[in-house]
Amino acid sequence: MTTKQKKKVDKEFGLSSWAINNKTTMYVLIAVILYLGISAFFSMPRETFPEIRETKIYISSLFPGNTAEDIEKLITDPLEDKLKTVSNVVEITSTSQEDYSMVIIEFDQKISVDQAKQKVKDEVDSETSSEDWPTFNGAKVEPNVFELSMSEEMPILNINISGDYPVQRLKEFGEYLQDEIEDLPE
């Protein structure tokens, strides 16, 4: 077999051969790509604590003196059944434990958090106004409907205050300190 015939038989990728034959050009090309990547990384806007918005609404209910099964039967299941009819709901998850129920409703991104919260409040109010809703100490069990903001969940700073002062005085000092810290420039 001649060398000409052998070259035709061997498969060769042209770009790889060109890169091997032009080493200097490849070094310059790699340096340019590396420079552009590093400059893009450092010029990219970013925040230390970005605002993360989730369309999840939480319902917590406290009903002391009951087992997890009772909580599920009396509070969690009726709330879930009522919330299944709400539009834009993606997923409903719940947890029932002794004395406590938590229902999490996730909505799609087409609805704002405030609208979702209002829809959930309306459904919860209509469910709790029914005759068979459980009571505790002569009053109906009131579920708490709220949203969680990730920026509220992960604070920048936690300060614990203690001392030989009454609790009210420590609380006042803590609120004063909070105001002073919040007034600091960024």
pLDDT tens by residue, the chain, 186 residues: 566 655 555 677 888 888 999 999 999 999 999 999 999 999 998 877 677 778 899 999 988 888 989 999 999 999 999 999 888 899 999 999 988 999 999 999 888 888 999 999 999 998 888 888 888 777 788 899 988 876 666 667 778 888 888 888 989 999 999 999 888 886
* pLDDT attached to residue 112: 87
pLDDT at residue 27, rounded to an integer: 96
Residues contacting 59, CB < 8 A, separation 6+: 79, 101, 102, 103, 104, 105, 120, 124, 143, 144, 145
Q: How many CB atoms lie within 10 A of CB 120?
A: 25
Q: What are φ and ψ of residue 109, in 5° steps?
A: -75, -5
Q: What is the pLDDT of residue 165?
A: 87
- Which stretches does DSSP call E strand in 40-150? 56-62, 89-97, 100-107, 135-136, 139-140, 144-147
How far is the C-alpha of 163 from the C-alpha of 169, rounded, in Å? Answer: 10
Residues 6+ apart with CB under 8 A from 142: 61, 128
pTM of the model: 0.58
What pLDDT score was predicted for residue 182?
A: 86
Facing residues of 58 across strands? 104, 146
Across-strand partners of 102? 60, 95
148 neighbors 54 (Cβ within 8 angstroms): yes
